[in-house]
């Protein structure tokens, strides 16, 4: 069994920003605000500038082709792949804490990351914060350099 975790460090929300009830907290996490929202929007904008959506979706993608995961919100992860491809994964349900923690782990013994595979949210100490299933992998391709602004 192989565990792979993605660890991008970002500060957590402060206590003064947290809502009073669990239900309010979950509702607030679906609408990122402040620093987290600005960082997420910058990441989303960068992806939109560099990639364009194709019509292809995959149920599984080989892990050896994945280079980086970029968490865009509590329901969306973009996986940068080798070559000129990337994969947008829209989780079927909200995954509270994913945007805030920016790291997750998954067990894998067959070399691919697949739809319905479970990811576990981790905090900076490695404690788990819940689990969510992955959705389909929507294929994106890099735009030609003159369109994306890349040099």
- Report pLDDT digits (tens) over 113-132: 999 999 999 988 989 989 99
φ, ψ of residue 102 in degrees (nearest 5): 60, 25
Whether 22 is covered by a domain: the verdict is no
The pTM of the whole model exceeds 0.75: no
Q: How sure is the predictor about 81, in pLDDT bands with cuts at 50, 70 and 90?
A: very high
Name the residue among 49, 46, 47, 85 with its Cα closest to residue 65: 85
* DSSP class of 20: S
Whether 3 is covered by a domain: the verdict is no
Domain count of the chain?
A: 1
Query: What is the reported pLDDT for 58?
Result: 96
Q: Is the pLDDT of residue 13 over 90?
A: no
What is the extent of the structural domain holding 137?
32-143
Whether 59 is covered by a domain: the verdict is yes
- Alpha helices, DSSP H, located in 32-126: 34-50, 98-101
Whether 104 is covered by a domain: the verdict is yes
For residue 148, give the 3-state DSSP assignment.
helix
Whether 1 is covered by a domain: the verdict is no
Whether 62 is covered by a domain: the verdict is yes
- CA distances from residue 126 to 41, 101, 113, 120, 129 in whole angstroms, order as listed: 26, 10, 21, 10, 9
Query: What is the reported pLDDT for 49?
Result: 95
Q: Is the pLDDT of residue 48 over 60?
A: yes
Whether 4 is covered by a domain: the verdict is no
Whether 7 is covered by a domain: the verdict is no
């Amino acid at each position: 069994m192989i565990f792979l975790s993605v660890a991008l460090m970002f500060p957590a929300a402060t206590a003064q920003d947290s809502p009073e009830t669990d239900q309010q907290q979950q509702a607030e996490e679906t609408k990122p605000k402040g620093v987290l929202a600005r960082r997420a929007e910058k990441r989303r904008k960068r992806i939109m500038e560099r990639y364009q959506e194709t019509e292809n979706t995959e149920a599984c993608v080989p892990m050896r082709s994945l280079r980086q995961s970029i968490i865009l919100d509590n329901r969306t992860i973009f996986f940068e792949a080798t070559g000129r491809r990337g994969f947008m994964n829209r989780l079927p349900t909200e995954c509270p804490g994913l945007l805030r923690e920016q790291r997750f782990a998954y067990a894998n013994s067959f070399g691919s990351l697949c739809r319905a595979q479970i990811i576990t949210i981790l905090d900076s100490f490695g404690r788990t914060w819940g689990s969510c299933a992955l959705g389909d992998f929507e294929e994106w391709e890099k735009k030609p350099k003159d369109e994306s602004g890349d040099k």
